[in-house]
Amino acid sequence: MICASVKRFFLIRLLLPVGRPYIRMRELSGGRSFAVTTPRIFNHLLIARRSTKGLILTTIRKDNGNTRNKGFEATHQVIIETAVRLISDKGIEALSMAAISRAAGVNRTTLYYHFANREALVEAVKDWSAQQLTRGFSDDLPRDERTAHITRFVLENNEVAKLFIDDFLAPGDIRARYPRWDDLVSGIGRDARGAGADDFDAEIYSLIMLTAAFIAPRVFIGSVRPDMPVDEVVDRFSKEHLRVLRRDGLMDE
Protein backbone atom coordinates (compact mmCIF):
# COMPACT_ATOMS: atom_id res chain seq x y z
CA MET A 1 0.00 0.00 0.00
CA ILE A 2 1.15 3.53 -0.79
CA CYS A 3 1.13 5.88 2.21
CA ALA A 4 -2.03 8.00 2.08
CA SER A 5 -0.22 11.10 3.33
CA VAL A 6 1.88 11.43 0.15
CA LYS A 7 0.87 14.76 -1.39
CA ARG A 8 2.78 14.98 -4.66
CA PHE A 9 5.39 12.35 -5.32
CA PHE A 10 7.85 10.02 -3.69
CA LEU A 11 10.85 8.02 -4.76
CA ILE A 12 11.22 4.35 -3.94
CA ARG A 13 14.71 2.93 -4.12
CA LEU A 14 15.05 -0.81 -3.88
CA LEU A 15 18.39 -1.52 -2.25
CA LEU A 16 18.29 -4.18 0.46
CA PRO A 17 19.84 -7.64 -0.04
CA VAL A 18 17.83 -10.55 -1.34
CA GLY A 19 15.94 -12.35 1.38
CA ARG A 20 15.02 -9.33 3.50
CA PRO A 21 11.21 -9.79 3.49
CA TYR A 22 10.11 -6.33 4.51
CA ILE A 23 9.65 -2.80 3.29
CA ARG A 24 10.88 0.19 5.27
CA MET A 25 9.60 3.71 4.68
CA ARG A 26 11.05 6.95 5.99
CA GLU A 27 9.86 10.48 5.45
CA LEU A 28 11.93 12.97 3.47
CA SER A 29 11.66 16.65 2.61
CA GLY A 30 9.10 17.61 5.21
CA GLY A 31 6.57 14.96 4.22
CA ARG A 32 6.59 15.75 0.49
CA SER A 33 8.52 12.61 -0.38
CA PHE A 34 9.36 9.21 1.02
CA ALA A 35 12.23 6.77 0.64
CA VAL A 36 11.27 3.14 0.75
CA THR A 37 13.66 0.19 0.82
CA THR A 38 12.79 -3.36 -0.06
CA PRO A 39 14.69 -6.43 -1.40
CA ARG A 40 17.33 -5.91 -4.09
CA ILE A 41 15.84 -8.70 -6.16
CA PHE A 42 13.54 -6.19 -7.84
CA ASN A 43 16.37 -3.77 -8.66
CA HIS A 44 14.03 -1.02 -9.84
CA LEU A 45 13.17 2.55 -9.02
CA LEU A 46 9.47 3.25 -8.60
CA ILE A 47 8.31 6.82 -9.17
CA ALA A 48 4.86 7.70 -7.82
CA ARG A 49 3.04 10.98 -8.30
CA ARG A 50 -0.46 12.31 -7.81
CA SER A 51 -2.54 13.49 -10.73
CA THR A 52 -6.18 14.35 -11.40
CA LYS A 53 -6.59 10.74 -12.52
CA GLY A 54 -5.20 9.32 -9.30
CA LEU A 55 -1.83 7.87 -8.37
CA ILE A 56 0.47 7.21 -11.35
CA LEU A 57 3.32 4.74 -10.91
CA THR A 58 6.33 4.46 -13.21
CA THR A 59 9.11 1.91 -12.81
CA ILE A 60 12.66 2.39 -14.06
CA ARG A 61 15.12 -0.46 -14.10
CA LYS A 62 18.52 0.47 -12.67
CA ASP A 63 21.63 -0.09 -14.75
CA ASN A 64 24.13 -2.64 -13.51
CA GLY A 65 27.65 -1.68 -12.47
CA ASN A 66 29.01 -1.93 -16.03
CA THR A 67 26.55 0.54 -17.51
CA ARG A 68 25.91 2.88 -14.61
CA ASN A 69 25.38 6.43 -15.73
CA LYS A 70 28.55 8.50 -15.54
CA GLY A 71 26.53 11.37 -14.15
CA PHE A 72 25.58 9.23 -11.17
CA GLU A 73 29.22 8.43 -10.42
CA ALA A 74 30.25 12.06 -10.77
CA THR A 75 27.51 13.24 -8.42
CA HIS A 76 28.33 10.48 -5.95
CA GLN A 77 31.97 11.58 -5.85
CA VAL A 78 31.03 15.25 -5.50
CA ILE A 79 28.87 14.42 -2.48
CA ILE A 80 31.67 12.44 -0.80
CA GLU A 81 34.27 15.12 -1.51
CA THR A 82 31.91 17.79 -0.18
CA ALA A 83 31.43 15.77 3.00
CA VAL A 84 35.20 15.40 3.35
CA ARG A 85 35.68 19.14 2.98
CA LEU A 86 32.89 19.95 5.43
CA ILE A 87 34.25 17.57 8.06
CA SER A 88 37.80 18.86 7.54
CA ASP A 89 36.71 22.48 7.91
CA LYS A 90 34.11 22.22 10.69
CA GLY A 91 34.33 18.74 12.24
CA ILE A 92 32.05 15.73 12.10
CA GLU A 93 29.39 17.51 14.17
CA ALA A 94 28.78 19.91 11.26
CA LEU A 95 27.89 17.09 8.90
CA SER A 96 24.19 16.83 8.16
CA MET A 97 22.19 15.89 5.10
CA ALA A 98 20.88 19.46 4.89
CA ALA A 99 24.41 20.92 5.04
CA ILE A 100 25.66 18.51 2.37
CA SER A 101 22.70 19.29 0.14
CA ARG A 102 23.48 23.02 0.31
CA ALA A 103 27.26 22.71 0.00
CA ALA A 104 27.19 20.17 -2.85
CA GLY A 105 24.40 21.93 -4.73
CA VAL A 106 22.16 18.84 -4.94
CA ASN A 107 18.56 18.57 -3.87
CA ARG A 108 17.43 16.33 -1.04
CA THR A 109 15.89 13.68 -3.29
CA THR A 110 19.16 13.28 -5.21
CA LEU A 111 21.16 13.17 -1.99
CA TYR A 112 18.97 10.47 -0.46
CA TYR A 113 19.14 8.53 -3.71
CA HIS A 114 22.91 8.26 -3.21
CA PHE A 115 22.97 7.89 0.59
CA ALA A 116 20.10 6.62 2.70
CA ASN A 117 21.08 8.70 5.73
CA ARG A 118 23.90 10.60 7.43
CA GLU A 119 25.42 7.38 8.77
CA ALA A 120 25.75 5.94 5.26
CA LEU A 121 27.52 9.11 4.14
CA VAL A 122 29.92 8.96 7.10
CA GLU A 123 30.74 5.35 6.18
CA ALA A 124 31.49 6.47 2.63
CA VAL A 125 33.87 9.13 3.96
CA LYS A 126 35.60 6.48 6.09
CA ASP A 127 35.97 4.25 3.04
CA TRP A 128 37.45 7.16 1.11
CA SER A 129 39.90 7.81 3.95
CA ALA A 130 40.87 4.14 4.05
CA GLN A 131 41.58 4.22 0.31
CA GLN A 132 43.81 7.27 0.71
CA LEU A 133 45.72 5.78 3.63
CA THR A 134 46.00 2.35 2.04
CA ARG A 135 47.66 3.94 -0.98
CA GLY A 136 50.53 4.90 1.29
CA PHE A 137 51.45 1.23 1.62
CA SER A 138 50.81 0.35 -2.01
CA ASP A 139 53.36 -0.51 -4.64
CA ASP A 140 51.75 2.18 -6.80
CA LEU A 141 53.96 4.72 -5.03
CA PRO A 142 57.76 4.64 -4.76
CA ARG A 143 58.77 3.61 -1.25
CA ASP A 144 60.25 7.01 -0.45
CA GLU A 145 56.88 8.67 -1.20
CA ARG A 146 54.61 6.34 0.77
CA THR A 147 55.18 7.71 4.26
CA ALA A 148 55.02 11.26 2.89
CA HIS A 149 51.61 10.50 1.37
CA ILE A 150 50.19 9.13 4.64
CA THR A 151 51.74 11.83 6.84
CA ARG A 152 50.46 14.64 4.64
CA PHE A 153 46.98 13.13 4.43
CA VAL A 154 46.73 12.71 8.19
CA LEU A 155 47.89 16.28 8.86
CA GLU A 156 45.91 18.01 6.12
CA ASN A 157 42.67 16.05 6.72
CA ASN A 158 42.80 15.93 10.49
CA GLU A 159 39.10 15.43 11.26
CA VAL A 160 38.54 13.02 8.38
CA ALA A 161 41.58 10.93 9.30
CA LYS A 162 40.30 10.82 12.88
CA LEU A 163 37.21 8.91 11.70
CA PHE A 164 39.42 6.22 10.19
CA ILE A 165 41.77 6.15 13.18
CA ASP A 166 38.87 5.76 15.63
CA ASP A 167 37.72 2.71 13.67
CA PHE A 168 41.29 1.46 13.37
CA LEU A 169 41.64 1.49 17.17
CA ALA A 170 38.23 -0.08 17.86
CA PRO A 171 37.80 -3.85 18.40
CA GLY A 172 37.11 -5.91 15.29
CA ASP A 173 38.87 -7.44 12.31
CA ILE A 174 41.54 -5.06 11.04
CA ARG A 175 40.85 -6.22 7.47
CA ALA A 176 37.49 -4.46 7.59
CA ARG A 177 39.29 -1.13 8.19
CA TYR A 178 42.51 -1.80 6.32
CA PRO A 179 41.79 -4.20 3.43
CA ARG A 180 45.47 -4.56 2.45
CA TRP A 181 46.52 -5.85 5.87
CA ASP A 182 47.35 -9.37 4.69
CA ASP A 183 49.31 -8.01 1.71
CA LEU A 184 51.26 -5.69 4.00
CA VAL A 185 52.17 -8.45 6.45
CA SER A 186 53.15 -10.93 3.75
CA GLY A 187 55.21 -8.31 1.90
CA ILE A 188 57.13 -7.21 5.00
CA GLY A 189 57.65 -10.82 6.01
CA ARG A 190 59.01 -11.65 2.57
CA ASP A 191 61.42 -8.71 2.68
CA ALA A 192 62.58 -9.69 6.16
CA ARG A 193 63.25 -13.29 5.15
CA GLY A 194 65.11 -12.03 2.12
CA ALA A 195 67.30 -10.01 4.49
CA GLY A 196 68.01 -13.14 6.55
CA ALA A 197 65.76 -12.27 9.51
CA ASP A 198 64.06 -15.63 9.98
CA ASP A 199 62.71 -14.79 13.45
CA PHE A 200 61.13 -11.53 12.24
CA ASP A 201 57.52 -10.97 13.50
CA ALA A 202 55.87 -9.45 10.44
CA GLU A 203 52.47 -8.96 12.09
CA ILE A 204 53.80 -6.97 15.04
CA TYR A 205 56.18 -4.98 12.86
CA SER A 206 53.36 -4.12 10.43
CA LEU A 207 51.13 -2.97 13.26
CA ILE A 208 53.90 -0.79 14.71
CA MET A 209 54.46 0.79 11.30
CA LEU A 210 50.76 1.43 10.69
CA THR A 211 50.20 2.90 14.14
CA ALA A 212 53.23 5.14 13.79
CA ALA A 213 52.13 6.29 10.34
CA PHE A 214 48.52 7.07 11.28
CA ILE A 215 48.86 8.43 14.82
CA ALA A 216 52.40 9.74 15.35
CA PRO A 217 52.11 12.74 12.98
CA ARG A 218 48.99 13.95 14.80
CA VAL A 219 50.70 13.66 18.18
CA PHE A 220 53.85 15.35 16.89
CA ILE A 221 52.17 18.40 15.38
CA GLY A 222 49.60 18.61 18.16
CA SER A 223 51.83 18.20 21.22
CA VAL A 224 55.52 18.19 20.24
CA ARG A 225 56.01 20.80 17.51
CA PRO A 226 52.72 22.59 16.82
CA ASP A 227 54.66 25.47 15.29
CA MET A 228 56.34 23.37 12.59
CA PRO A 229 55.13 23.69 8.97
CA VAL A 230 53.44 20.60 7.53
CA ASP A 231 56.03 20.22 4.75
CA GLU A 232 58.83 20.02 7.30
CA VAL A 233 56.95 17.48 9.41
CA VAL A 234 56.30 15.34 6.33
CA ASP A 235 59.97 15.48 5.38
CA ARG A 236 61.17 14.50 8.86
CA PHE A 237 58.76 11.56 9.14
CA SER A 238 59.65 10.31 5.65
CA LYS A 239 63.38 10.38 6.35
CA GLU A 240 63.05 8.58 9.67
CA HIS A 241 60.71 5.96 8.23
CA LEU A 242 63.19 5.17 5.47
CA ARG A 243 66.04 5.04 7.97
CA VAL A 244 64.16 2.46 10.06
CA LEU A 245 63.43 0.32 6.99
CA ARG A 246 67.09 0.38 5.97
CA ARG A 247 68.18 -0.41 9.52
CA ASP A 248 65.92 -3.44 9.58
CA GLY A 249 67.07 -4.68 6.20
CA LEU A 250 63.71 -4.01 4.50
CA MET A 251 65.11 -1.47 2.06
CA ASP A 252 68.32 -1.24 0.10
CA GLU A 253 70.84 1.42 1.06
pTM exceeds 0.85 for this model: no
- What single string gives the DSSP state of each residue in 130-165? HHHHHHTTSTTS-HHHHHHHHHHHHHHTHHHHHHHH
Asked if residues 84 and 100 have their Cβ atoms less than 8 Å apart, the reply is no
In this structure, whether the domain defined by 70-115 belongs to CATH 1.10.10.60 is answered with yes
More confident residue, 30 or 206: 206
pLDDT tens digits, one per residue of 99-156: 999 999 999 999 999 999 999 999 899 888 888 877 777 777 787 788 899 899 999 8
Instruction: Look over the chain and give the mean of its residue pLDDT values, rounded to a whole number.
Output: 76
Q: Tell me how far apart the alpha carbons of residues 130 and 174 are, in angstroms, rounded to a whole number.
A: 12
pLDDT of 68:
52
Residue pLDDT, tens place only, 224-233:
999 999 999 9
Euclidean distance between the first and final Cα of the chain, in Å? 71
| Per-residue model confidence (pLDDT) at position 146 | 84
Residues β-bridged to residue 16? 39
| Residue range(s) of every CATH 1.10.357 domain in the chain | 125-247
Q: Which pLDDT score, from 0 to 100, does residue 29 have? A: 39
Task: Indicate whether 15 pLDDT > 80.
Answer: no
Q: Note the CATH architecture for domain 125-247.
A: Orthogonal Bundle (1.10)
Task: Decide if pLDDT at 244 tops 70.
Answer: yes
From CA 144, how far away is CA 18, in angstroms rounded?
A: 46
Q: Express each pLDDT in 58-94 by its tens digit.
A: 444 444 544 456 688 899 999 999 999 999 888 899 8
**CATH 1.10.10.60 domain range(s) in the chain:** 70-115
Q: List, in order, residues 6 or more apart from 63 with CB less than 8 Å away.
A: 69
Contact 25, 49 (CB under 8 A): no
- Residue 40 has a pLDDT of 37
Identify which of 156, 250, 158, 252 has the alpha carbon closest to the alpha carbon of residue 209.
250
Q: How does pLDDT run across 166-200, given as a tens digit for each residue?
A: 888 889 998 887 888 898 899 899 989 988 888 89
